[in-house]
Amino acid sequence: MTNTQFPEKAVPLLSWMCGIVLLTAIASVLGFLFLKGWQSFNLQLIFGTTPPLEALLFKRRVFNGLFPAMVGTFSLVCLAVCWAIPVGIAAGIYLAEYARGKTRKFLNLIFDVLAGLPSIVVGLFGFSITIFLNRYLSSQIYPCLLISSIALAFLVLPYILRTTQTALEDQPASLRMTALALGASRMQNIGRVLLPQSLPGIMSGVILATGRCAEDTAVIMLTGAVATAGIPHSLFSNYEALPFYIYYISSQYADQEELASGYGAAIILLFICLMLFSLAFFIKKRVSLSAH
């Protein structure tokens, strides 16, 4: 066997080994989680002593159940992604199509720094916004769902921005020139040709942003999440969230039953993430089919 043949045969073997190790690690974590939390996974964990139908119709408040935290988590993720999508896509279009020279380098540096910010710093930023509004604008805004969603939008903005920029820059030159050669303006070329063709790649950034919003704890614990708030009635109210509940229970549980409920909450959070990912993948698939 020559020296050149050995790396060619070793690389596939190492790739398979790394893949097996990764799958084993994921299966071990999920297996441990389900083993610890499945025994507490029931309707009482979600709705407490409240009848499920009355809880789903918001007729009665749920006590000692995770339903308010599920609603708060879902609302938080949807709001944060809705704030981040238009800003991220617009910034990505500007960087890919308009920014040049030193301006492009400066903005790339700024967004790279933003992508590397620890979530606790983003949480402090959201908390500082609340203090500023109360002190200097005589506002009655306190840590709430709105502040948390805006802070999370800043946290996930780089994912959508970079995937938009990359998807636009990867479009072939022939596609770029076709609409311009037929008399379309630059804005028409971007809006009607390049952007529709880039939507599958942009949706990848939306999927990443959705996952990051659903799992973050440091941001929300400083900007509005509390242990018992019930279902949020407005954007300016406190709320419950599954990541905060898991953190709270795991650090201050009184007995093994409470700890098991924390594992059950983690399973529910996985199911919510799976549902959101499935919705995002479905939209991505439909967009890919329509683009082709």
- Give percent of the chain above pLDDT 70: 95
In this predicted structure, what is the pLDDT of residue 84? 92
What pLDDT is attached to residue 6?
Answer: 56
pTM, two decimal places: 0.83
pLDDT mean across residues, the chain: 84
Q: Which domains does the chain have, with CATH numbers?
A: 41-291 (1.10.3720.10)
Tokens of 205: 């950034």
- Give the Å distances, CA to CA, from 29 to 22, 26, 95: 11, 5, 39
Q: Note the pLDDT of residue 20.
A: 92
Only one residue has tokens 């409470």, namely 258
Give the model's confidence band at 291: pLDDT under 50 very low, under 70 low, under 90 confident, else very high.
low
**DSSP label at residue 190:** I
Q: What is the pLDDT of residues 175-190, one digit of tens each?
A: 888 877 877 788 888 8
- Residue 139: pLDDT band (50, 70, 90) is low
3-state secondary structure 222-287: HHCECCCCCCCCCCCCCECCHHHHHHHHHHHCCCHHHHHHHHHHHHHHHHHHHHHHHHHHHHHHHH
- Rounded to 5 degrees, φ, ψ at 225 are -75, 135
What pLDDT is stored for residue 89 in this prediction? 92
What pLDDT, in 10s, does the model give residues 76-110?
Answer: 998 999 999 999 999 999 998 888 888 888 988 88
> What pLDDT is attached to residue 228?
77
E strand intervals along 124-180 = none
CB distance 194 to 175 below 8 Å:
yes
Beta-carbon contacts of 84 under 8 Å, excluding residues fewer than 6 positions away, are 152, 153, 154, 156, 157, 160, 209
Q: What is the pLDDT of residues 4-31, one digit of tens each?
A: 555 667 777 888 888 899 999 989 988 8
